[in-house]
Amino acid sequence: MRAKLIDGKRIAADIRADVAKDASALAAEGVTPGLGVVLVGGDPASQVYVRMKTRACEEAGIATRDIKPDADITQEDLLSIVDELNADPDTHGILVQLPLPKHLNEREVTERILPEKDVDGFHPVNQGRMAQGDRDAFRPATPAGVQELIKRTGVDTTGKHVVIVGRSNIVGMPMSTILLQKEPGANATVTVAHSRTKDLASITLQGEILIVAVGVPEMVKGDMVREGAVVIDVGVNRVDDPSTERGYRLVGDVEFEAAAERADWITPVPGGVGPMTIAMLLSNTVRAARRTLEGAPAGAA
pLDDT band at 145 (very low <50, low <70, confident <90, very high): very high
Calpha distance 226→205 (Å, rounded): 5
CATH 3.40.50.10860-classified regions of the chain: 29-115
Mapped onto helix, strand or coil, the DSSP state of residue 65 is strand
| Exposure letters 104-140 (e unless 16+ CB within 10 A, then b) | beeeebbebbbbbbbbbbbbebbbebbbeeeeebbbb
What is the pLDDT averaged over residues 9-13?
97
What integer pLDDT is reported at residue 42 of this predicted model?
Answer: 85
**Which is nearest to 62 in space by CA: 24, 94, 98?**
24
Note the pLDDT tens digit of each residue in 147-196.
Answer: 999 999 999 999 999 999 999 999 999 999 999 999 999 999 999 999 99
- What would you report as the CA-atom Rg of the chain, rounded to the nearest whole angstrom? 19
Task: Check if the beta carbon of residue 20 is closer than 8 Å to that of residue 61.
Answer: yes
Summary mean pLDDT of the chain: 95
CATH 3.40.50.720 region(s) of the chain?
141-276
Q: Choosing from 22, 53, 127, 160, which is the catalytic residue?
A: 53
Long-range contacts, 101-109 (Cβ 8 Å, 24+): 101/40, 101/41, 101/71, 101/72, 103/72, 103/75, 104/40, 104/73, 104/75, 104/78, 105/75, 108/75, 108/79, 109/75, 109/78, 109/79, 109/82
Does the pLDDT at position 37 exceed 80? Answer: yes
Sign of CA dihedral 291, 292, 296, 301: positive
pLDDT at 46: 87
In DSSP notation, 73-106 reads --HHHHHHHHHHHHH-TT--EEEE-SSPPTTS-H
Q: Is 18 a catalytic residue?
A: no
Q: Classify each residue of 277-301 as buried b or exposed e, where b means 16 or more C-beta atoms within 10 Å of its C-beta.
A: bbbbbbbbbbbbbbbbeeeeebbee
Residue range 194-209: mean pLDDT, rounded:
97
Which segment of 56-65, 124-133, 221-230, 238-247 scores lowest on mean pLDDT? 238-247
Omega within 30 of 0 (cis) for the link into 184: no
Q: What is the pTM of this model?
A: 0.93
**In the predicted model, is pLDDT for residue 89 greater than 60?**
yes
Determine which one of 22, 117, 118, 120 is catalytic: 120
The CATH code belonging to domain 29-115 is: 3.40.50.10860
Query: Is 4 among the catalytic positions?
Result: no
Q: 10 Å Cβ neighbour count for 32?
A: 15
Residue 297: is its pLDDT beyond 90? no
**CATH topology (fold) of 141-276:** Rossmann fold (3.40.50)
Whether 181 is catalytic is no
Percent of the chain scoring above 90 in pLDDT? 92
pLDDT of residue 1: 63
pLDDT of residue 68: 96
Gap between the Cα atoms of 276 and 41, Å rounded: 25
Q: What's residue 200's pLDDT?
A: 98
Per-residue pLDDT band at 301 (split at 50, 70, 90): very low
